[in-house]
Amino acid sequence: MKALAYDADAEVVDASDAPASIEGAATADERHQVVLDKEVRAHVGRARRQLIQVNVGRLAVFAAFIGFWQWSSDRLVDRLFVSDPLSVARAFRDLVTDDDFFFHLRFTLSEVGAGYGLGVGLGLTCALALSFSHVAQRIFHPFLIIFYSIPKVALAPLIIMWFGLGMKSKVLLAMAFVFFVVFMNTLAGINAVSKDLVNVSRVMGVNRRQLIRKIILPSAFPYIVMSLHITVPLAMVGAILGEFLAGNRGIGYLINAASNQYNSARVFAGIIVVLMIVLVMSSAIGLVEKRVLRWRPESTRTSF
């Protein structure tokens, strides 16, 4: 089996010792090697061609979108509202070279980071705490559903009232968005752990701590990682929402201020900054996922 395995990502195939054709091969082993090498080359070629197709396609879609935007501005719609890509690019440059841009950026990043971290931590802890008691799960279930059903946006004014205009209220908002998703997913993951597996492990003699650390958490990990992915943009929603509503700091505040001045190019520039933050955070989590979930078969991975 090992001899037949090959690395799909391998760029270079070591075939230097092997004869180039079946006719040139002396032994059966060499003949087999020729077939294997050919198959690997074909596979690498296919993968490379597909990658090129995908990237060209993506570029084309993006270019078409930008082109249409530039063309339609002032032809189909008023430039005042939609701006145009060139103006947005200029506004983006102006925005990030502003003296106080990094002050605002740091503010938003801290809110998102703290809200995300707290939400994830609290979600995991609560899910673990509830996972041991069927009764506790049944007691809390309706309340959780009620809290989950409240649009978190509607909570924002209250939270700002309670915790002020500063960073605290924004962190809490971001946390509220993150907490439930992590909590619900983790609990679902823990409840989905194979009963058989738990029983076999208990008979093997695992204690409670080992059961959590070595069986339950790793089993639930795919669920947990999925929730970590989903909640990155949600944390951003919480922070930006808070900045829209109150205070005079953060990227959300900059976007809101620009929109009040009908400076749509600057609004788009702000949105691009937000987008970039979310993308960077998402890919960081994607990297962690790739490391931690190495053991999973290719086809079941969630990232793309």
Partner 1 sequence: MLRNVQKAFVTGRGRDRRAALAVQDVSLEIQPGEFVSFIGPSGCGKSTVLNMLAGLERASAGEVRQGASPIDRVNTNVGYMTQDDNLLPWRTLARNVEFPLEIRGVPRRTRAAEARRILAQVGLERYGDYYPHQLSGGMRKRGALVRTLLADDPVILMDEPFGPLDAQNRRMLQDQLLHLWSNSGKTIVFVTHEHDGLAAVRPFVTHDLVEAVTLSDRIVVFTSAPGTIKRVHTVDLPRPRDVFRIHETPGFDEIYNPVWDDLREEIAKVASVERQAS
Task: Count the Cβ atoms, other than its own, within 10 Å of residue 87.
Answer: 19
3-state secondary structure 59-117: HHHHHHHHHHHHHHECCCECHHHHCCHHHHHHHHHHHHHCCCHHHHHHHHHHHHHHHHH
Q: Does 291 bind partner 1 (CB under 8 A)?
A: no
| Residue 73 bridge partners (DSSP) | 77
Query: If binding is defined by CB under 8 A, does position 4 make contact with partner 1?
Result: no
Dihedral sign computed on CA atoms, order 267, 228, 223, 47: positive
Q: Which of 229, 233, 222 is nearest to 301 (CA)?
A: 222
205 near partner 1 (CB under 8 A): yes
Q: With binding defined as CB under 8 A, does residue 6 bind partner 1?
A: no
Nearer to partner 1, 50 or 210 (CB): 210
Question: Any contact of residue 55 with partner 1 (CB under 8 A)?
Answer: no
Tell whether residue 302 is a contact of partner 1 (CB under 8 A): no
Using CB under 8 A as the binding criterion, the count of chain residues that bind partner 1 stands at: 22
String of contacts with partner 1 for each residue 212-251, x by CB under 8 A: --xx--x--x------------------------------
Distance CA 3, CA 206 (A): 37
- Report whether 252 contacts 226 (CB < 8 A): no
User: According to the binding rule CB under 8 A, does residue 200 interact with partner 1?
Assistant: yes
Contact flag: residue 301 with partner 1 (CB under 8 A): no
Interface residue with partner 1, options 46, 49, 202, 290 (CB under 8 A): 202
Q: Is 204 in the site for partner 1 (CB under 8 A)?
A: yes
Applying CB under 8 A, which residues contact partner 1?
A: 1-2, 194, 196-197, 199-200, 202-207, 210, 214-215, 218, 221, 293, 295-297
